[in-house]
Chains A and B, each alone.
Chain A
Amino acid sequence: MSDREKATASAFMTHEVGLHARPSVKLTKLAKTFPAGIQLALSEEGPWIDAKSIVRVMAFQAPQNTMLYFRAVGDRAEEALAALVKLVEDDFEVEVGGESA
């Protein structure tokens, strides 16, 4: 509860069909477990979208072999991005626990 914690990160996504239904469900569920505001983009210049919205994430239609950029503001921002980067780098194989709405 210090000042607004800020973080940025990126991860290379190799999942065969890209950021499709199952990976998108996992990514948004994981993002929602953190209090920080988290955004996702396909380029450092944006456009940035809410990484907690599966509708927005799916609309990106990110194909395989894309760099995903994250930025976060708020409590545990660093931790949130570390977790998201790990999810992408582990090819969305890890189980994402229950969500906190």
Chain B
Amino acid sequence: MTQLRFNGVVGSRGLLAGPLAVLRDTAAQARDAGTPEQEAAVLKAAIESSVESLSLLIAESEGAAAEILAFQVAMLEDGELSAEAFAAIAGGTAADAAWRAALAAQIEVFASADDDYFRARSTDLTDLRDRVLRALCGSEEGDVGLPPGAVALADDLTPSRFLAQEWAGRGIALRAGSASSHVAMLARAYSVPMVLNLRDVPEAEGTLALLDAEEGAVTLDPAAGEQAAFAARCSALEASKIRQAAFLTAPAATAGGAPVGIFLNVTLPEDLEGLDPAICDGIGLVRTEFLFHGHEGLPDEQTQVNAYEKILRWAQGRPVIVRTLDAGGDKPIPGLTREEENPFLGLRGLRLCLARPEVFKVQLRALLRAAPAGTLRIMLPMVALPEELEEARALLIEAATEVGFVGDLPPLGIMVEIPAAALTLDRFAIDFASIGSNDLVQFTLAAARGGNGLERLQRADYPAVLRLIAESVERAARRGIEIGLCGDAGGDPALIPALLATGLRRFSMAPSAVGAAKEAIARSADHG
């Protein structure tokens, strides 16, 4: 066999090289049916013992696993699930066949759903079907004993099948599956590398497989060179994980001991799931425009309040900087942004919000209503002139009156991403500022982002950009205003030393970048 590569979707990140082990369906074996009365009693007992074994599993699980199992118990305890099966048994059908048919109908309800989330629930019902069938046939689902380092191959996996198996040092390749399935959530919770949607992977038991759950691919029978390159990636990943784990929950500081604030960039409350707030000093950027995507129309006030409250509560009192709607540019929103010749220099960010105050005010009211749930700061994007800030402040004050907000308004700050703002930061009456390095780089060097052949003009450590940053930091310091950086550069270990040299001491980044960033900071000299 020659090397074969299959592309899929990452379900849970990681890398693993090992023998392919086919996980086979363990459900039903044949059994002898009795009278309808006996069959009904047998099914009832099988359902009860399944509830019991699930309850035992819940007792030893926590978090996501316990919630998934609680859902299964609730489904199983609901008479609606088995009503059809008992009716069929009364008509002379054997318990296992009746149960299988009744569940097939329920599974179909979910399998044909439009929504990916509900579609993924069909696996939970398959799981319940098989658990009860095993109880009916007296077979127990056990750990099938995957060899160490094995890459388990299956069409899909049920949550109980996952939980019955020892996964340490092993990985999962699924031909089907969805990243929103319960088993993918479990794989992430248990750090088991998993790639999904690998349609055509053959059942080549024992073949060496490279499970690349960073890129989302599986390679079977890799050539020697491929194997060596993969092994090098594995050890690099392992080494960096070990190094970074040590840095993760410790406060960040330079080699000279200067403390550095580490904040997170988040898009949705879900980004924070399973994260320990102790890894950061707060949230440096909540990108609210994603709330405005994928739903019918714009999100209403209560939807926004709920999302903001969730993030504020997660932070447990640490500051949370919410950026008001930053639509336009590379983030068009149907019904809100307009088609433009040059959208990056057009009606976007705060400009758009000021042009559409009825939309902006909904967000400001929602922010003010959510404010009591934590330590909220409000940040305005794409500000060039102090007048724009003042117009936004006037709307914030109006919104406060409308919702009956009492007490001090949350601190108000701006993104520093237009060179004009960086050069005149002292003219803005703000409580804090945050440098948006992505836009600041593209406006300073007049080069759009993205694979357009202009890569050498897209670095945040160019002297022109660094001088603008240093200028902003100095002006902020003179006014006693906190200033940080929340662009991609803040989480890039290669750029951190240069950014520290500008005097910046606050960085906001993707949660996955925190370990590496803290390590890079610890290795950086103290530039005073």
Contact = CB atoms under 8 A, between A and B. Distances in A.
A43 B106 CA distance: 23
A10 interface: no
A21 B124 contact: yes
Contact of A22 (B71, B110, B295): B71
B303 interface: yes
A61 B303 contact: no
A59 B80 CA distance: 11
Interface stretch (B113-121, B333-341, B459-467): B113-121
A89 B115 CA distance: 23
Interface in B114-166: 115, 117-118, 121, 124
Interface residues of A, number: 26
Contact of B121 (A12, A21, A53): A21
A29 B74 contact: yes
A24 interface: yes
A27 to B, nearest CB: 10
Nearest to A55: B80
Interface string A51-69: 0011110110101110000
Given A16-B270, A65-B296, A25 B117 contact: no
A20 B117 contact: yes
Contacts of A53: 78-80
Nearest to A25: B74
A91 B302 CA distance: 10
B295 A65 contact: yes
Given A55-B78, A65-B303, A24 B115 contact: no
A98 to B, nearest CB: 12
B81 interface: yes
Interface in A1-44: 12, 14-18, 20-22, 24-25, 28-29
Contact of A20 (B80, B118, B300, B306): B118
Contacts of B81: 55
Given A22-B71, A54-B74, A59 B303 contact: no
20 contacts: A12-B302, A18-B117, A18-B118, A20-B117, A21-B67, A21-B68, A21-B182, A24-B74, A53-B80, A54-B71, A54-B78, A55-B78, A56-B80, A58-B75, A58-B110, A58-B121, A59-B109, A63-B115, A65-B300, A91-B310
Interface of B: 67-68, 70-71, 74-75, 78-81, 106, 109-110, 113, 115, 117-118, 121, 124, 182, 268-270, 295-296, 299-300, 302-303, 306-307, 310
